[in-house]
Structure 1
């Protein structure tokens, strides 16, 4: 079953169970998916949906830090809940050893020799780790690998 179908089924079950907060978070996700599908006149695949979820998670984390800095904990709690709902649709996170092995393979595959080849390595790594690892941390690891 596609990820979009799973999300739609979860929306229906949240409606039946009258879980309004969960339903709201799922509807936000489906609205984001639908908007891109309509704007670009395409049917999104699972990888593209994961990219959307990843972007939404990043937005929520940014909002949490701003809400907490402003002393608005109740709004931060709403964002935390939405993150917990969105996180259920993400693939299992890659562990450190897996990330390192993907980076080593990408460096060997691209023939990267130094920092100037960082873009090539990121391009090779991104499809393999998208949604499974924080790309900012992956970038830092690649820099360390290429510098060392």
Structure 2
């Protein structure tokens, strides 16, 4: 089942169950996907859909940090709910152990030996873990392995 079909089914279910918050997040995701399709002028591939979902999730996580700093608990709760709904559509996240293994393999592949090779390693590793790991965690693990 494609992502759009899942979103449509879940949207119908959220309407039936009167889950307003979930419904608004699903509509927002559908809108973002449709806007991206229009921008690219074609139907989105799974990879492109994942990029849009990742972008939306990252925006929510950034907002969450800002709201927590500002002490806006009302908005923190709302954004946490949105993140929970968005994570339902993301692929299963890799564990830290799995990520460390991928980082080590990628460092060996590109022949990196110092922090100066950080860009090469990150460029090679991010397509492998796209949507399955947070970029800042990957960055931290790569730095640890290169030091």
Q: TM-score, normalised by structure 2?
A: 0.90
Q: CA deviation at 1:62?
A: 2.1
Structure 1: 5+ residue runs without aligned partners? none
Q: Who is 2:46 aligned against?
A: 46
Q: Deviations over 1:28-57 (max 9, x none)?
A: 111111111101112222222222222212
Q: Who is 1:138 aligned against?
A: 138
Question: Are 1:4 and 1:46, in contact at CA under 8 Å, matched by a contact in 2?
Answer: no
Write the distance in 1 (CA, Å) between the matches of 2:111 and 2:65.
Answer: 39
Q: CA deviation at 1:126?
A: 0.8
Q: Deviations over 1:12-40 (max 9, x none)?
A: 22122222111101001111111111011
Structure 2: 5+ residue runs without aligned partners? none
Write the distance in 2 (CA, Å) between the matches of 1:118 and 1:71.
Answer: 35
SS at match of 2:93: coil
Aligned residues: 147
Within 5 Å, give how 1:48-127 maps onto structure 2. Answer: 48-127=48-127
Higher mean alpha-carbon deviation, 108-117 vs 75-84, is at 108-117
Q: Which of structure 1's runs of 4+ aligned residues deviate more than 4 A?
A: none
SS at match of 1:94: coil
Q: TM-score, normalised by structure 1?
A: 0.89
Write the distance in 2 (CA, Å) between the matches of 1:96 and 1:67.
Answer: 27
